């Protein structure tokens, strides 16, 4: 029952956010930047503006939808970079062993010792704010868990029969890692990636809130919260709705990741049976 709840609720929330970002122009006829009317600034939610307006008279609902595009792009792309780095390092370290394994383990332990947000802040301070800098910063911060899991899976698979058979028939190291080892760890890596997207969305919002993420007036949930600080008392909806969007998105990806973990874990399947 818990498995089904996590998968269904997480999947529905994630799907709604993705569809909202993709079909934002169809769901609202307003531009998130250009359609600003100071005569309608800080209007409360109602029939004309479902989520109200901000201090510049822009529709908060429209900006939340377009902000989903930014958050999902950052989350998916940065986690894709993390997954590739972690897989390459983890599989190669577990398979080749020796000094390379020691080096990768040392770097991984170092990355785990540094809070990911602090590391991202340091990278953004060097590169400056912007989408490309944000993708690089978040794409280099969260690969250590993927690396650990990939290395552990490789160590357990390295001595199985089909790996030794592939070595006997002359498969090269790269081919063995790509065709024999990688397909057997897709499940746990998919779970980590799903959870990592939620973390990246939260990190993007935090960095944008601090002024190191997406440049205004491009809407992102983080800089919408920054703008809303000035009117939090008289127009709280300008902060409530982007904050709620962050909460539901992170919750959706986390529930989806938990559901996938339970569905793909053979021990959980045995326990349920």
List, in order, residues 6 or more apart from 28 with CB less than 8 Å away: 59, 61, 62, 65
Residue 155 contacts residue 94 (beta carbons within 8 Å): yes
The predicted model scores a pTM of 0.83
First-residue to last-residue Cα distance in the chain: 13
How far apart are the C-alpha atoms of 43 and 221, rounded to whole Å?
19
How far apart are the C-alpha atoms of 201 and 249, rounded to whole Å?
8
Smallest CA-to-CA distance from 158 within 145, 171, 172, 177 is with 177
Residue 46 lies in a domain: no
pLDDT, mean of residues 204-220: 81
Tens-place pLDDT, residues 119-135: 888 888 888 777 888 88
Tens-place pLDDT, residues 15-52: 999 999 889 888 888 888 888 778 888 888 888 888 88
Residue 56 contacts residue 36 (beta carbons within 8 Å): yes
Residue 21 lies in a domain: no
Residue 254 contacts residue 262 (beta carbons within 8 Å): no
pLDDT of residue 84: 92
Average pLDDT value over all residues in the chain: 83
- Check which CATH number belongs to the domain holding 258 and give it: 1.10.3720.10
Residue 212 lies in a domain: yes
Tens-place pLDDT, residues 144-193: 888 998 888 888 887 777 777 777 777 777 877 877 788 878 888 888 88
Residue 3 lies in a domain: no
Residue 22 lies in a domain: no
How far apart are the C-alpha atoms of 7 and 5, rounded to whole Å?
6
Residue 253 lies in a domain: yes
Smallest CA-to-CA distance from 124 within 116, 136, 112, 113 is with 136
Smallest CA-to-CA distance from 93 within 191, 181, 186 is with 181
Residue 43 lies in a domain: no
Q: Which domain holds residue 263?
A: 53-272
Residue 38 lies in a domain: no
Smallest CA-to-CA distance from 201 within 105, 72, 110 is with 72
Based on the structure, what is the number of domains in the chain?
A: 1
Percent share of the chain, pLDDT over 70: 95
57: left (phi over 0), alpha (psi -120 to 50) or beta: left
DSSP label of 169? T
Tens-place pLDDT, residues 46-92: 888 888 888 888 888 999 999 898 888 888 999 999 999 999 999 88
How far apart are the C-alpha atoms of 22 and 9, rounded to whole Å?
20
- pLDDT reading at 233 higher than 60: yes
| Residue 10 tokens, joined | 């997480």
Query: How many CA atoms does the CB half-sphere of 55 hold within 13 Å?
Result: 15
30 phi, psi to nearest 5 deg: -105, 155
216 or 106: which carries more pLDDT confidence? 106
């Amino acid at each position: 029952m818990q498995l089904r709840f996590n998968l269904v609720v997480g999947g529905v929330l994630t799907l709604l956010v993705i569809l909202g970002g993709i079909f934002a122009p169809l769901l609202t006829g307003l531009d998130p930047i250009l359609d600003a009317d100071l005569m309608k600034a800080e209007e409360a939610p109602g029939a004309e503006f479902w989520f109200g307006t901000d201090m510049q008279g822009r529709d908060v609902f429209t900006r939340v939808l377009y902000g989903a595009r930014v958050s999902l792009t950052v989350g998916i792309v940065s986690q894709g970079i993390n997954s590739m780095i972690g897989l390459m390092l983890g599989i190669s370290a577990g398979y080749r062993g020796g000094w390379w394994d020691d080096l990768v383990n040392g770097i991984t332990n170092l990355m785990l010792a540094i809070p990911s947000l602090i590391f991202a802040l340091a990278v953004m301070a060097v590169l400056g704010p912007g989408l490309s800098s944000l993708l690089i910063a978040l794409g280099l911060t969260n690969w250590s868990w993927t690396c650990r899991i990939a290395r552990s899976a490789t160590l357990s698979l390295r001595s199985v029969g089909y790996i030794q058979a592939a070595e006997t028939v002359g498969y090269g190291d790269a081919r063995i890692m790509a065709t024999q080892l990688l397909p057997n760890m897709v499940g746990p890596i998919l779970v980590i990636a799903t959870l990592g997207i939620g973390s990246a969305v939260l990190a993007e919002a935090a960095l944008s809130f601090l002024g190191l993420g997406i440049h205004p007036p491009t809407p992102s949930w983080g800089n919408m919260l920054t703008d809303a600080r000035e009117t939090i008392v008289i127009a709280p909806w300008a902060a409530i709705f982007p904050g709620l969007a962050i909460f539901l998105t992170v919750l959706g990806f986390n529930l989806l990741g938990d559901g996938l973990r339970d569905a793909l874990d053979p021990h959980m399947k045995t326990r349920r049976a």
